[in-house]
Structure 1
Amino acid sequence: MIVERAYAHLSSHDEDAWPWSVPCVRQLLDEGLRFTAPVTFLVGENGSGKSTLVEALAEGFGLDSYGGSHDWRYASPRGKSALGERMRFDAAPRGRRMATSWSARKGFFLRAETALDALGREGLSPDSVSHGEGFLAAFRGKFLHPGLYVLDEPEAALSFSSCLELIGHIDRLAKEGGQVICATHSPLLTALPGADIVEVGEHGMRRVAWRELGVVDHWRRYLADPHAYLRHIVEP
């Protein structure tokens, strides 16, 4: 493991203001978030706060908030988020070196909305391939060394088979000493054996088994009988 626990402490704050009012952020402030496996998936509805968490985790580790690799220093004009500025880690020795030394740092922050621009700045020429292939170029060319890899909904541009390829990259990284923290809606990705799954929502954060995930149950029932859902949405 590289990062064993994330936490943040504030001397003063407005509990009714964003992001401190988000339940998962409140729980992070109160209890921290412990990482128990090399791969952690954060799963929740839009607006649950999972992207807020992964961005702050990347920033706290020293990865650019815009997205990009450990080699990409001061790439973005935007500063750290309010939570990212306060993010701290309990880490293994090599994790502490990475978090405090730019030269020792290894990792990548992939955020769906800026990924192609970030990859272009890093010389991967994503404009010459499809959106999904541009994402896969990052996985093939940048997910190479043990480090901290933070992903925000990487499945957004990927087909079913490409998601399976991504699972292979994540599994290889974990077995070679890397650590992955991924916010996702994908029941494909979260099925990775041995991964820790944290469900984010109004309850805050809680660990669940893959079969207990709401998104898994919904996909299973939808594929079995789409009409059971669509009859409430599509006019006859």
Structure 2
Amino acid sequence: MFVRRAYVPDSLQPPTTEHWPFSVPAVAELVEDGLEFTHPVTFIVGDNGTGKSTLVEAIAEGFKLDARGGRAGARTGKADPTKTPLGEVLRLETTAQGSRMLAGPRLKKKGFFLRAETAFSMTENLGGVPGYWEENTAEMSHGEGFVAVFQSMFRDPGFYVLDEPESALSFTACLHLVGLMHDLGESGAQVVCATHSPVLAATPGADIIEAGEHGLRRVKWAELELVDHWRRYLDNPDTYLRHITDDE
């Protein structure tokens, strides 16, 4: 592993938690108590607005990955020096291996930040660029392009951060990503992933952290609210849809 803990030092604590993102319970808890990483693969799961993307963006920045998405040690286009509000104050406690990687030459850094908002443009523009993937992903469907990115960029022991990678993936492609993340964890890499997908969150051996109004809590896969909702919906969709489609 490369990162043991994400935290905000006392000297950088925000003066108030009334403003976004520090008003979000999950972010507020990280600011107050920090967040420990205990497994090679960690999922942060939660509904929209619970702060999971805010957390993983700041964690990526803490490992010197561009918050727009991309590799460690290389940038495409003009670098954006602006950090997210949480990224400005968040720090990472690294392992010896993580410290060596961060202190080493830029091109020796192994890592990648994939975020849904920018991944589509990356698949269209980086195919064939040295250091990225050989396939012409601009000619593929979004799902096929994502899989090509995963296969090319997520294979060396490094620090990988993913923000909702399931956005373009079919069920089968999600299973492919599960296998890839599991193999990365077994190989000495570290993965931190924000997701809505019960398929991805079921990756064997992963640590699952649920973000919500309660803040952050570690849960088992079967106890996730996400899993409970999907089970009930797939068992009987009408129990949900009648509240949406009923005009009375």
Q: Report the TM-score when normalising by structure 1.
A: 0.95
Displacement, 1:120?
3.9
- CA deviation vs aligned residue, 1:141-189 (integer Å, no higher than 9, x gap): 1111111100000011000000000011101111111000000011111
Query: Percent identical across equivalent pairs?
Result: 55
AA at the equivalent of 1:208: V
AA at the equivalent of 1:166: L
Partner of 1:48: 50
Q: Give the Cα separation in 1 of the matches to 2:111 and 2:38.
A: 19
Partner of 1:77: 80
- CA deviation vs aligned residue, 1:175-215 (integer Å, no higher than 9, x gap): 11100000001111111111000000111100000000001
For 2:100, what is the secondary structure of its paired residue? helix
Return 210-219 or 115-124, whichever deviates more: 115-124
Partner of 1:31: 33
Partner of 1:97: 100
Q: Give the Cα separation in 2 of the matches to 1:42 and 1:60.
A: 17
**How many pairs are equivalent?**
236
Partner of 1:14: 16
Displacement, 1:98?
2.2
The root-mean-square deviation of aligned C-alpha atoms, in Å, is 1.5
2:161 pairs with 1:159: no
AA at the equivalent of 1:215: L
Q: Is the 8 A contact 1:66 1:118 kept in 2?
A: no
Q: 1:15 to 1:137 in 2, by over 3 A?
A: same
Where structure 2 has 5 or more consecutive residues not aligned to the other structure, the ranges are 128-132
Q: Is the 8 A contact 1:6 1:88 kept in 2?
A: yes
Q: Is the 8 A contact 2:125 2:138 kept in 1?
A: no
Q: Give the Cα separation in 2 of the matches to 1:66 and 1:87.
A: 17
Q: Give the Cα separation in 2 of the matches to 1:198 and 1:11.
A: 23
Where structure 1 has 5 or more consecutive residues not aligned to the other structure, the ranges are none
Return 97-106 or 217-226, whichever deviates more: 97-106
Partner of 2:118: 114
- CA deviation vs aligned residue, 1:105-129 (integer Å, no higher than 9, x gap): 2110000111022244433432110
